[in-house]
Amino acid sequence: MMMCGGDGIADIFGRRIPSPKLPWSKEKSVAGMVSVFVGGFVMSALMIYIYVNAGVFDGTITSYLLPIAAIALVGALVESLHYKDIDNISMTLASALLGHWFF
């Protein structure tokens, strides 16, 4: 969901909303990085909500929000790095590894 929600939204909002460029990655913007975080968080929370309501995951959605926020933050930070050709793979791997650690 970090790739679907985060990276997809970042491309749209990062180009349309004028914002400063990131100091460590001159091709990427603050708006794009925030969009990766928000889009990834919302899509992940939506999917977890569906699984919790279907009875696949235990607990309530609120017990998953903090880990999802941490995963979205790490995913956004990894995606913001200046490695243009591998950012999709590295963000997905970082998010999956952190998700595996949390869950």
Is the sign of the CA dihedral 16, 83, 87, 36 positive or negative?
negative
Helix (H), strand (E) at residue 10: helix 8-16
Q: What is the pLDDT of residue 72?
A: 94
Q: What are the backbone dihedrals phi and psi of residue 22, each rounded to the nearest 5 degrees, phi first?
A: -75, 140
pLDDT digits (tens, 9 = 90+) for 18-62: 889 988 888 888 998 999 999 999 999 999 999 999 999 988 999
pTM (predicted TM-score)? 0.86
For 90, the enclosing helix (H) or strand (E) is helix 87-102
In the chain, the amino acid numbered 28 is K
